[in-house]
Structure formats: C-alpha cells, structure tokens
C-alpha cells in the first residue's frame, strides 16, 4: 500500500498538491511497471544492452538520437499497454468480453509495432557502426 511521507498508509483519490507529490506517484508507477510487468523488464534489458553496444561502437550523436527514440518508444508503448490491461481488468475483471479482448490485443499490437521500429533502427544504426570498426 502506498505510504505518505509521515509513514502512514495513504488512499489518496484527489489531485496531487505539488510537484514532488506528482513526481512521487510517477516514480511509484515506474516501480510498479518494473516489478509487475515481465515484458517491461525484458525491453529494459534489451534497451540497456543496445546502449552498452552503442558505447562500445562509439555511435554518433545522430545515431544515439535514433537509438534512444526507439528504446523510449518501446518502453512508452509497454506503459500504455499496461494501462489498458489495468483499466480493462478494472472494468470487466475475469469476465470474458469481446471489447476487452480487442482493447488488450490492440494495445499489445502497439507494443509490437514499436518493437519492430526498434528492430529496424537497431539494424540501421548498429550495422554501419559495426562496419566502421573494420
């Protein structure tokens, strides 16, 4: 359960009062994403590996821009997918619903599109960078 700064549990449903409270809830969201979403962790790992390879291959600023765009696009798509899953589950629970299936499948399709974009960017950036080594 989320805790207030005084250590007591909070069940806030109203607006945040200041920037730090908003930031705290945003970080809580990232914490949830990391700990509950296996796919988010996988994409974070692949993104981290791509950054490591990018450092080794000494990518140019332009190449870094494309690579970081691709990485953040996948992580953002995964975030939206998680939101859709949570909202759908909140509405229908374990009940089967065609619209619930459509919403979840479309959200997953969005992640797939972002991952394909990342794959294309990865190839277009890494292959020439690798070729520069030889």
Interaction site with ligand ATP (CB under 6 A): 39, 81, 85, 92, 95-97, 100-101, 104-105, 108
**CB 89 → ligand ATP: shortest distance, Å?**
7
85 in a known ligand binding site: yes
Annotate the chain with three-state secondary structure. Answer: CCECCCCCECCCCCCCCCHHHHHHHHHHHHHHHHHHCHHHHHHHHHHHHHHHHHHHCCCCHHHHHHHHHHHHHHHHHHHHHHHHHHHHHHHHCCCCCHHHHHHHHHHHHHHHHHHHHHHHHHHHHHHHHHHCCC
Crossing angle of helices 98-131 and 61-92, in 10° steps, is 170
Choice among 40, 67, 75, 78 that is catalytic: 78
Whichever of 27 and 97 has its CB closer to ligand ATP, that residue is 97
11 CB contacts (<8 Å, ≥6 apart)? 1
78 is catalytic: yes
Residue number closest to ligand ATP, CB atom: 101
Whichever of 67 and 111 has its CB closer to ligand ATP, that residue is 111
104 in a known ligand binding site: yes
**CB 107 → ligand ATP: shortest distance, Å?**
7
Whichever of 109 and 128 has its CB closer to ligand ATP, that residue is 109
**CB 31 → ligand ATP: shortest distance, Å?**
17
Binding-site residues for a divalent metal cation, please? Answer: 37, 85
């Amino acid at each position: 359960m989320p805790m207030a700064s005084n250590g007591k549990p909070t069940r806030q449903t109203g607006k945040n009062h200041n920037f730090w409270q908003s930031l705290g809830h945003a970080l809580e969201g990232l914490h949830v994403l990391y700990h509950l979403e296996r796919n988010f962790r996988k994409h974070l790992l692949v993104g981290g590996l791509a950054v490591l390879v990018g450092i080794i291959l000494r990518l140019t600023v332009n190449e870094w821009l494309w690579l970081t765009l691709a990485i953040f696009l996948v992580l953002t798509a995964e975030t939206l997918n998680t939101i859709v899953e949570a909202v759908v589950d909140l509405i229908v629970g374990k009940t089967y619903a065609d619209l619930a299936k459509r919403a979840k499948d479309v959200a997953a399709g969005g992640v797939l599109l972002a991952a394909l974009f990342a794959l294309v960017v990865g190839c277009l950036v890494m292959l020439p960078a690798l070729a520069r080594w030889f």
